[in-house]
Amino acid sequence: MPTRKIHLKSFGCQMNKLDSSLVVGALGEQGYELTDTPEAADVIVVNTCSVRENAENRVFSNLGHFKYLKKSNPNLRVAVIGCMAQRLGDELLAHEAVDIVAGPAQLHEVPALIAEAMGDHDKHLSVSEKIRQPAASQQVITDSHKLDDFELAHDTDANHIKSQAFIRAMRGCNNFCTYCIVPFVRGPEVSRPPEAILKQAKKLVDQGIQQVTLLGQTVNSYQYKAGEKSYRLADLLGQVSDIGGIGWVRFITSHPGRFDTSILQVMASNPKVCPYLHIPAQSGSDRILKAMNRGYTAAEYIDLMDTARAIVPDIAIAGDFIVGFPGETDEDFEATVDLVRRVRYKNAFVFKYSPRPDTHSEKKLEDNVGDEIKQQRNAKLLEVISEISAEDNERFLGKEVEVLVEGLSKKPHLNQEKSGHPQLIGRTAGDYIVVFNGPKSLTGRFANVKITQTAPLTLFAAPRPSTA
């Protein structure tokens, strides 16, 4: 029988990328092969994101194309999974292109749903009912156990850089930031048992993985009680870094509220725990932070960043910001610029506010900052962030840094003739991107390189002539 082909479209965060790679891994074990061309696929899996309107619009535009493909290939099956699947459920299933809709908590069911849909022409729906209701809590735990089994059973690195893997530490979020859909589609926080995480990490390290990233929407909230002992993220980082053969351990994303400084202590004392903190502030205005329900003030956030730098002097801090939140004045925005100048991020992402259906801000707050102003604030903040990165990156000039080499850069031919090697890309423990010419055989390995030039987002290093 010819091999069946699967085409994957994955939108959104790292959590979605992990889910996508698990589904691809599970289907690969059933004989499916990945294809880059939807026209060649027997099954198309679209893993969706609801965090921004733009991501949802792109899903609908893809579905429009798949509807057209189904006319010439009636056996094609299309599965829509992820946050949008949970949010829209039946509405999405009614789309002509769609055969399967499955929410994030039903990830483990996707291979079976695809098998069923291949055998019939029915539509299949599997999403969580009342995901945030107390009555659903037992269901959340049951789903979580099933997801744990699914994660342990299937390889996750097939779709990733070979030397690196992502492991979920926890699911869901309890924070209810007023603009965010995540708590409504991913459900309440559930931390995975440390044994499951360690078992998965060990398996991956035995397969040659050098770096493990622990994932959670608010990963610093990780908490797992086993008898008398309560495990927090700092414990987990220590235990994962003890696995023989592991290189580096990272974690994303942190929430500034309830941030436990023991995480910073582990970072300072354990060279395997990378000195990198992705910790979105979202705004520098207390008024806007309150309206966002972020649970901290700008001064508290800055204090935490000062503490982080006092404990881990070389820590690299990355952030996220939303500009144009309802009611954001010029003064509020200037407070955000001030916070950015004060914290000096390694890099930060900036998003223009867009209301998400069913969130508090969509229901109760007027989206009253015009598009043009949002665009201006977005550009200004990015400019300030870039200026700061450009200045701060100069300190690397002439220094030797250790990188984990990811493979060929986007422009592998650059300087290839002169150096005799393609251009490679790697990252430092602080997550700084470094490009340099060197043998491709360095991929997946650690290498020391000397920085010769810097830019806001990239460091450039001298060629590495050999792998010795």
- Give the binding site for ligand SF4 (CB under 6 A): 173, 175-177, 180, 182-183, 217-218, 255
Report the 10 Å Cβ neighbour count for 208: 12
CB of 127 to ligand SF4, least distance (A): 19
CB of 356 to ligand SF4, least distance (A): 10
> Judged by CB, which is closer to ligand SF4: 173, or 435?
173
Pairing of strands 423-427, 433-437: antiparallel
User: Does residue 253 have a cis peptide bond before it, meaning omega lies within 30 degrees of 0?
Assistant: yes
Amino acid letter, residue 466: S
CB of 283 to ligand SF4, least distance (A): 12
> Judged by CB, which is closer to ligand SF4: 66, or 179?
179
Beta bridge partners of 171: 190
Q: How far apart are CA 72 and CA 61, in angstroms?
A: 18
Contact 215, 169 (CB under 8 A): yes
Contacts of 145 (CB under 8 A, 6+ apart): none
Q: How far apart are CA 269 and CA 265, in angstroms?
A: 6
> Judged by CB, which is closer to ligand SF4: 32, or 296?
296
CB of 282 to ligand SF4, least distance (A): 8
CB of 351 to ligand SF4, least distance (A): 11
CB of 178 to ligand SF4, least distance (A): 9
> Judged by CB, which is closer to ligand SF4: 364, or 395?
364
CB of 427 to ligand SF4, least distance (A): 24
Token pair of 99 as six digits: 């055969």
> Judged by CB, which is closer to ligand SF4: 295, or 412?
295
> Judged by CB, which is closer to ligand SF4: 191, or 218?
218
> Judged by CB, which is closer to ligand SF4: 28, or 295?
295
> Judged by CB, which is closer to ligand SF4: 117, or 181?
181
Q: What is the CA radius of gyration of the chain?
A: 23
Beta bridge partners of 405: 426
Which helix (H) or strand (E) segment is 230 a member of?
A: strand 229-232
Nearest CA-CA partner of 182 in 51, 321, 11 = 51
Please state the φ and ψ torsions of residue 16, each to the nearest 5 degrees.
Answer: -65, -40
User: To the nearest 10°, the Cα dihedral for 350, 356, 360, 366?
Assistant: 80
Q: How far apart are CA 379 and CA 107, in angstroms?
A: 38
CB of 365 to ligand SF4, least distance (A): 15
Report the 10 Å Cβ neighbour count for 268: 17
> Judged by CB, which is closer to ligand SF4: 43, or 219?
219
Q: How far apart are CA 407 and CA 250, in angstroms?
A: 19
> Judged by CB, which is closer to ligand SF4: 76, or 177?
177
Nearest CA-CA partner of 106 in 23, 15, 17 = 23
CB of 47 to ligand SF4, least distance (A): 17
The conformation of residue 273, written as its DSSP 8-state character, comes to B
CB of 277 to ligand SF4, least distance (A): 15
Token pair of 44 as six digits: 């198309």
Beta bridge partners of 44: 7, 78
